Structure 1
């Protein structure tokens, strides 16, 4: 069953690589996440249909829950932010994957 966050502000930065997404632990709780890091398949810049069937472009990466990240903010690489059309707000949607890794959609709003 899919879980999603509330609307999050995007913070794109050169210091992050394409395989790193940071959110505050309170936002991670919305996704049902309790531990500090989770390996996921990150889908950015694809349609919900491509996400649902797994055919969209994706990378294996890590979703980190960090207290240093402000509540209501998602930190990502500039490259990932550009794939979203430089959207200022996104929603994260997490779905358990067919394998042992979840699928994370960065959905522009």
Structure 2
């Protein structure tokens, strides 16, 4: 009598557990599919740096005889004024990376 009762209890618990798991999976499946479709439809924004998230860049001042590097957070296309050996010289910052990890700053004058 006792083993039959234990078997009935265990089989009932197993059926209840399996039913709960199947019900949970059946409820979650449509939601997961909908989330995947929505994620596929969304187009990621371009990874352009925003004005608030500027990064410090080191520029190599091309065709100079003095100190040849300049650190700034300004974007490419900006014109800077730099003093070299008592002379003022203007440079345009570019987005062209050089082999040493710095960016090129072209002389204007």
Normalising by structure 2, report the TM-score.
0.31
| Higher helix residue share | 2
Larger Rg: 2
Q: Which has the higher contact order (CA 8 A, sep 6+)?
A: 1
Structure with the bigger percentage of strand: 1
